[in-house]
Chain A
Amino acid sequence: MSDPALNDPTELVQLAVDQDACIGAGQCEMLEAETFLLDDDTGIAALTGAGTLPRQRAEDVVDRCPARAISMVDQDDGAGG
């Protein structure tokens, strides 16, 4: 969990979608329509644009994905979050 002292909730963080895990439930697109788009044919989610969100909203969308397919990419070391 993020430590509020270390993590500014408005700081932009990079997101990633694991398309093998995605079940196409569309929670991400509903919550953050500017950031996620479900493919019309496959129904699988992808990032649109830069794929960044303020930390608070990023944490929320990660939490709401039922397939745990969305993660925050740690920009410092490039490892999955």
Chain B
Amino acid sequence: MTTSTPTGTPTSPNITDADLYLDGIPYDRFAEMRSTPGLVWHEYHDGGFWAVTRHADVKVVSKNGSIFSSSVGHTNLWDLEADALEARRSLIDTDAPDHTRLRRLVARAFTPKNIRRWEDTVRAITVELLDDFLATGQGDWVEEVAAPLPIRVILTMLGVPVADAGYLVELSNYLVEGTGETQSIPPDAFGNTTELRLLPFNSPASHALFEYGEKIGEERRQNPQDDLVTSLVQAQAEDGDRLSGSEYRNLFHLLVFAGNETTRTALSHGAMALADHPDQWQRVLDDTSLIESAAEEILRWSTPVMHMRRTTTEPVELAGTALDAGEKVVMWYASANRDETVFNDPFTFDVGRVDNPHFSFGGGGPHLCLGAFLARLEIVVLLEEMAKRSMRLRRVGEPVRAPSNFVHGVLSVDMEVTSS
């Protein structure tokens, strides 16, 4: 058993340094950590954490929510004061039984069967964006395709008017900033008066998103529609125990953010990977039955959410390291997705990869991404429509990456497109 003493373990480069990710994921450092026995201790400004970097260990942490808790502490790197944690708590920061109750309120809309009903909507939005992009022949793939596609889909499902999509995209961009060190908007932006530490991502944009959620919730209470906001406010009306007011706001916030930033990231890295590996895209064009495995490979390749954190509720041994209760444990999906003991040639982008148990949607525990089937559908439909048009992407210049250790974000990437 390795000792759990935090001293003497190499912590450089600092994998929490947001600016490090401007050059991409520090894969070399993660490889080093995977090959280090036990868990690796990593310093952090409010106390350190145990870095979980191997696929098998991430799975153990994910699947044992009562020991590796989402509600104690926080699911992001930094700790929150008790009142902030409470104010910000959403589905993602709860454990059973609260988690089970909240998750069931939304789970039904996101089952594979029910997601398939949105295929035509997803396709219509995709076709419009792709045809516009083709008509111009060149542009920023993120702004023109990768960002608008998922936000328009999730807003349609929620029942938000398309006219407001631009505003919500803007809010979402500010939220991502909140995970980095600097924010470009003042604390009182959008008329915010709440202390930032009480808001998700410490961002005043969260206040605006809450307000928007309240407004549309009120509209649906008056005038119910066949959409997700209506089903949430109805659950709340029937029984406040099923969904409290603060839970509604946080759930609305989570659905907008989680359905947006992540899928955008997968679609951006996906396009980059196809442009950088024209032979792989040719394989898909020659045999479109590879589209599903190509979508999974894009997910593995991009790891849009690079980590999630848990906190131990009792002493436990993991990978031979003894942990006390109350310790931070951070699962690095970005590392698990390159684990050489699980994936053949993990650094090869292979659209035909057969066994691909990637952890881009989490390690398979109760918090497994709610939107996984929706995100998959969006990627598959995009690839199908690109293949139909024999579209070929070529990169013009380097991408601008987000300074974030959490979302593997791409802010912009110029692409040239041809169709034959």
Interface residues of A: mostly helix, strand, loop or mixed? Answer: loop
Q: In the complex the two chains form, what is the Cα distance from A24 to B103 in whole Å?
A: 8
Asked if B166 CB lies within 8 Å of chain A CBs, one says no
Least Cβ–Cβ distance between A64 and chain B, in angstroms:
7
Q: Mark A18-54, 1 if CB is under 8 A from B, else 0.
A: 0011011111011000000010001110000000000
Cβ contacts A53-81/B at 8 Å (1 or 0 each): 00000000001101110000000000000
A66 to B365, CA, bound (A): 4
Residues in B whose Cβ lies below 8 Å from that of A29? 111-113
Asked whether B364 is an interface residue with its Cβ less than 8 Å from the other chain, the reply is: yes
Q: Is A30 touching B103 in the complex (CB atoms < 8 A)?
A: no
- Number of residues from A at the complex interface, CB < 8 A: 18
Find chain B residues with CB under 8 A from A66 CB.
63, 364-368
Contacts of A24 in B (CB 8 A): 103-104, 107-108, 111
Contacts of B111 in A (CB 8 A): 24-26, 29, 38, 43
Does B112 contact A26, Cβ atoms closer than 8 Å?
yes
Least distance between A40 CB and chain B CB atoms (Å): 8
Q: Say whether A43 contacts B366, CB under 8 Å.
A: no
Encode B84-111 as 1/0 by CB contact (under 8 A) with A: 0000000000001001100110011011
Q: How many A-B residue pairs have CB under 8 A?
A: 53
Interface size class of B (residues with CB under 8 A): 10 to 19
A25 CB contacts on chain B under 8 angstroms: 103, 107, 111, 368, 370
Q: What separation, in Å, do the CA atoms of A21 and B104 have in the docked complex?
A: 10
- What distance in Å separates the Cβ of B83 from its nearest Cβ neighbour in chain A? 28
Chain B nearest Cβ from A36, distance in angstroms: 11
User: What residues of A have a CB within 8 angstroms of the CB of B108 in the complex?
Assistant: 24, 38, 42-43
Q: In whole angstroms, what is the CA distance A26 to B376 when docked?
A: 14
- Are B104 and A42 within 8 A (Cβ)? yes
- In the complex, whether B373 has a CB less than 8 A from a CB of chain A is yes
Q: How far, in whole Å, are A66 and B368 apart by their CA atoms in the complex?
A: 7
Q: Closest chain A residue to B63 by CB distance?
A: A68
Instruction: List CB contacts (< 8 Å) of B355-380 with chain A.
Output: 364-368, 370, 373
Partner of A23, one of B112, B366, B373: B366
Residues of A within 8 A of B364 (CB): 63-64, 66
A67 contacts B104, C-beta separation under 8 Å: no
Pairwise interchain contact A26-B373, C-beta atoms closer than 8 A: yes
| Distance to closest chain B CB from A32 (angstroms) | 12
**Residues of A with C-beta under 8 A to B365:** 66
Cβ distance A44 to chain B, nearest Cβ, rounded Å? 7
Pair B107/A43 contact, Cβ less than 8 Å: yes
Q: What's the minimum C-beta distance from A39 to chain B, rounded to whole angstroms?
A: 9
Contact residues in A for B107 (Cβ distance below 8 Å): 23-26, 43
Which residues of chain B have C-beta atoms less than 8 A from A20's C-beta?
100
Contact residues in B for A67 (Cβ distance below 8 Å): 96, 100, 366
A68 CB to nearest B CB, Å: 7
Question: In the docked arrangement, what's the CA distance between A47 and B195, Å?
Answer: 49
Report 7 cross-chain contacts, Cβ distance below 8 Å, ordered by A residue. Answer: A20-B100, A21-B96, A23-B99, A24-B111, A25-B103, A25-B370, A42-B108
Contact residues of A with B, CB < 8 Å? 20-21, 23-27, 29-30, 38, 42-44, 63-64, 66-68
